[in-house]
Structure 1
Amino acid sequence: MYSTNIRLIFLLGSLWITSSVSDPADPLLVELPSGKLRGRDNGNYYSYESLPYAEPPTGELRFEAPQPYKQQWTDTFDATQPPVLCMQWGQFVEGDNKLAGDEDCLTVSIYKPNNSSRNSFPVVAYIHGGAFMFGGSSENGHDKFMSDGNLILVKISYRLGPLGFASTGDANLPGNFGLKDQRLALLWIKQNIASFGGEPENILVIGHSAGGASVHLQMLREDFRNVAKAAISFSGNALDPWVVQQGGRGRAFELGRIVGCGQTSDSLTLKKCLKSKSASEIVSSVRSFLVLSYVPFSTFGPVVEPPDAPEAFITQHPIDIIKSGKFAQIPWALSHTTEDGGYNAAFLLEKQSSTGQERIEELNDRWFDWAPYLLFYRDSMTTIKDMDDYSRKLRQEYLGDRRFSVESYWDLQRLFTDVLFKNETEKILDLYRKHGKSPVYGFAYDNPANAGIGQALAKRTDINFGTVHGDDYFLIFENVVREFQLRSDEEIISRNFLKMMNDFILSENGTLAFDTCVFQDNVDSSKVQLLSITQNGCENL
């Protein structure tokens, strides 16, 4: 595992844990080991944005584990600038050129309530989603979250796509750089959050989609319990098939070929060549891995690293770590929405300008070609026959003898939901039921947004997609893929989610409740327990 456990122990016991705001009369001025910084007054909250936690991962530090930030500020650091996106090929960027962001992006942004009734606040550390490929902390608004006035929020930026996850599967280019970024950021928060009035002993780590899977992956390291008191994963966990994939080595060398590194089979030579290329070349290569639209939605992501990899993040598959019981035993909740599979199935309902037909009709001729990429089993099957047999089995199970069409879309979406999100959520709950020690909770959200990610991907509003990916999470963090204006029932649910998080952090025994419902713990339970959250309330199933 990490060779820096000693550094972790040092950091957690080091000087600045008990530091405080340097001038109580001026809450915008904060002093850190690097020097003084000045934030912004936003009315009901203060913000301190774009604070570097690592040295820029550029030049010789590209494709390396992050190095703690060690520069000293001679002038007061301007913490009023919003965080930049980490360089990415963004799914939701309009046009053919989807390149966005900067390579130098490893920062955290802190948002503190302007609440004079208390001296310190529990902390929510937030890891954004985006399939490990795109997204950013700045793309999810926090005004709704900060209106509660009881929690400090810290948003983490981390490397994405090939810059964050390219791996040759050996010690020379082991991968997981984005996960190591998250890890270092969490240590930075633990070490420095008291300077902002945060309570380092009361940290909840949350994330959605790839962020939720990231939270789970962080938990698979036992020493995560020294950082976080509890965790929540919305619509994403380490066993989802799009998270830890096989075939990373082949993709890394193909990446090298695309950017002009030749046909080398030596990982050290490849790494040296990739370091000499521009970041934009490397990230723009993502388009060469897509078979249609933005499919597969994750081409570079977490991997199992070899045991001899320096500063390895995980060296066993997540399911083996869970079965061993050697993971952070802290209270955890995970979830799915009832139609999570609307991401990324909904794009199949977009009408093609050339034919006027929906792309779903093409599946009738291309199912065996596209299904392994859509559902992430392209690299996990031994033979093409195995792959085709599984594709046939899935089609028969969910559609029978019917054709792919707008009329059968809901069954296809159900297939996406089960394979990409729901099945593994239930599997995880069952595994933790047998191997967990701290409370583990599950919930399913069923309350469709008026317009969400389904409509955004399909580019149409005449389809009912149900409760799609993000319909719950974007009640807490505003996102452009769904309308900002919440219905009255969603306002109530949003407040209940915020109260749920606040109470979860402060609970001494890891109890979790939503509105009037107390979650049932899955650990040592005779069967899987799941809380259903709907427009009309909540119910234990």
Structure 2
Amino acid sequence: MYCAKLILLLGCFWISSSASDPADPLLVDLPNGKLRGRDNGNYYSYESLPYAEPPVGDLRFEAPQPYKQQWTDTFDATQPPVSCMQWDQFIRGDDKLAGNEDCLTVSVYRPKNSSRNSFPVVAQIHGGAFMFGGASQNGHENFMREGNLILVKISYRLGPLGFVSTGDADLSGNFGLKDQRLALLWIKQNIASFGGEPENILVIGHSAGGGSVHLQVLREDFSKVAKAAISFSGNALDPWVVQQGGRGRAFELGRIVGCGQASDSVTLKKCLKSKPASEIVSAVRNFLVFAYVPFTPFGPVVESPDAPEAFISQHPVDIIKSGKFAQVPWAVTYTTEDGGYNAALLLEEQASSGREWIVDLNDRWFDWAPYLLFYRDSMTTIKDMDDYSRKLRQEYLGDRRFSVESYWDLQRLFTDVLFKNSTEISLDLHRKHGKSPVYAFVYDNPANTGIGQGLAQRTDINFGTVHGDDYFLIFENIVREPQLRSDEETISRNFLKMLNDFVLSENGTLAFGTCVFQDNVGSSKLQLLSITRNGCENLELESFP
């Protein structure tokens, strides 16, 4: 069904064979009319371009509909993208509501480079645990300074508005993933109007964006919209990406916002559509057991096979084993201390007691661990849950107590369970069941400040190379200082060259600096590239270090 719709949309979209008007590069023709962008010195920007009808009213909790409105006046493409409505972990205080429900846009950034008439394209899917974040959360000045690639940032629905699901055909979920899919289709069909090369599109994302990229790759028709993909610190097998228990959360959401004890999905959906979006999103606070835990109460699900336009109707493991996914070059990554998200928040001192959350973990481990590590809904019995919690604590801490002194062991647990282990499993499955190149790298080079310090609200702890320390060298982020060290400048340039060469490669070759990635497909051992401040090195491993 989804494939048939894709072919229909490919036929319906108007394709431009030329870029913007050479006499006025800020003016661009699209099927909807003319738009005018902004001159930013070394690049042009065309922001907040709608790719879908506003997902409001009757279109809330539905698959996105292609944008069809016609502009009688020149569309103002100088306004930065608004974030989709969200309960944002990184807003301090009790009220974390931000963004708008009408938010489905793409933003295009084109370099000024007189040496070329067209550019390969990088489409970016932002992170934020499927709950928060936005196209503007990561900067693009470093990216545009190189002048070789067009960048397109995608906005998509988040939290309950993007992912609430009752597990049946009536409220299927994955609306945010379907948004991403339609945006990628828009890019494929319209990017030539901006000087982009529709045959050279690389899709990348970080964290939930990385998980999203992998989920997009797991659709066979992804090869119709992109040439290659990279998932930074997030993939479809991470335990927080595709979760169980969505139906219970959907009906609990209805109860919280005043839908009573809705007896069926149709009734629940009708009621939820009648409620203010702000009430639905603010209800997220009721699903958090403390602080922002769990960090993904609403995220991707396996949809019912009879759901209209289902995005995935099998678990990612089963999709990979079937071999029925897009055969495009794909890379997956992690950092040595990725688990700093969300472990570092346990070092924040509570306002009421001045005590760190990690100290309370000694008495609350069996209550909190299933939420912190996302096995609350995947275990059959409470005993199974407690046994697993006990096993994890014993393996990583032994008989020691949770404390600031034992934080690094806890962070290692988070890294392994939430990121590293599933990266290895994904790599192993793809090398066994895929045909196109599959690559991996691990990054170990701590930033001076990063997500760890931001979550813990303290600077006296060494967090190592945490979540985002690599990706934020490509796209600036407010959690780290804007000034890069000299070693980071070199790595940043190598990353940008890596993206450029990857999207242009005819055989899917991937390289970083002086190192050429080794393909895992057909390899008896895991091929992992290690990137540090001193350079890069190819490793052959039985398992990840």
TM-score by length of 2: 0.98
From 125, 128, 131, give the equivalent of 1:127: 125
Partner of 2:525: 527
SS in 2 for 1:329: coil
Contact 2:111 2:147 in 1 (8 A): yes
Q: Larger deviation: 350-359 or 47-56?
A: 350-359
Amino acid at match of 1:75: D
Q: Number of aligned pairs?
A: 539
Q: Which structure 2 residues correspond to residues 416-435 of structure 1 after superposition, within 5 A?
A: 416-435=414-433
Contact 2:20 2:26 in 1 (8 A): no
Partner of 2:255: 257
Q: Which structure 2 residues correspond to residues 481-492 of structure 1 after superposition, within 5 A?
A: 481-492=479-490
Quick check: 1:70 aligned with 2:68?
A: yes
SS in 1 for 2:527: coil
Post-superposition offset of 1:22: 5.0
Partner of 1:163: 161
From 347, 350, 370, give the equivalent of 1:349: 347
Q: Which structure 2 residues correspond to residues 314-463 of structure 1 after superposition, within 5 A?
A: 314-463=312-461
SS in 2 for 1:334: strand
- Distance across 2 between alignment mates of 1:281 and 1:314: 28
Amino acid at match of 1:473: Y
Partner of 1:207: 205
Q: Which structure 2 residues correspond to residues 90-105 of structure 1 after superposition, within 5 A?
A: 90-105=88-103
The sequence identity of aligned pairs, in percent, is 85
Deviations 1:502-527 (A, max 9, x none): 00001010000000000010001011
- Distance across 2 between alignment mates of 1:246 and 1:253: 14
Q: Larger deviation: 233-242 or 9-18?
A: 9-18
- Distance across 1 between alignment mates of 2:467 and 2:4: 39
Post-superposition offset of 1:354: 3.1
TM-score by length of 1: 0.99
Quick check: 1:145 aligned with 2:143?
A: yes
Amino acid at match of 1:357: R
Contact 1:11 1:191 in 2 (8 A): no
SS in 1 for 2:290: coil
- Distance across 1 between alignment mates of 2:16 and 2:159: 36
Post-superposition offset of 1:496: 0.2
Post-superposition offset of 1:433: 1.4
- Distance across 2 between alignment mates of 1:190 and 1:360: 47
Post-superposition offset of 1:402: 0.4
- Distance across 2 between alignment mates of 1:152 and 1:190: 13
Partner of 1:505: 503
- Distance across 2 between alignment mates of 1:431 and 1:8: 27
SS in 2 for 1:494: helix
SS in 1 for 2:167: coil
Post-superposition offset of 1:481: 1.1
Contact 1:21 1:29 in 2 (8 A): no
Contact 2:20 2:195 in 1 (8 A): no
Post-superposition offset of 1:15: 6.1
Structure 2: runs of 5 or more not aligned: 540-545
Contact 2:230 2:330 in 1 (8 A): yes
Post-superposition offset of 1:484: 1.0
Quick check: 1:114 aligned with 2:112?
A: yes
Partner of 1:198: 196
Structure 1: runs of 5 or more not aligned: none
Amino acid at match of 2:420: K
Q: Which structure 2 residues correspond to residues 239-258 of structure 1 after superposition, within 5 A?
A: 239-258=237-256
SS in 1 for 2:526: coil
Amino acid at match of 1:451: T
Partner of 1:280: 278
- Distance across 2 between alignment mates of 1:487 and 1:289: 40
Partner of 2:48: 50
Post-superposition offset of 1:309: 0.3
- Distance across 2 between alignment mates of 1:311 and 1:10: 14
Amino acid at match of 1:416: F
Post-superposition offset of 1:195: 0.3
Q: Larger deviation: 256-265 or 19-28?
A: 19-28
- Distance across 2 between alignment mates of 1:90 and 1:339: 23
Amino acid at match of 1:165: F
Deviations 1:390-421 (A, max 9, x none): 00000000000000011110000000000000
SS in 1 for 2:136: helix
Deviations 1:172-214 (A, max 9, x none): 0000000000000000000000000000000000000000000
Give the alignment's Cα RMSD to 1 decimal. Answer: 0.8
- Distance across 1 between alignment mates of 2:94 and 2:6: 43
After TM superposition, what 4+ stretches of structure 1 lie above 4 angstroms from structure 2? none
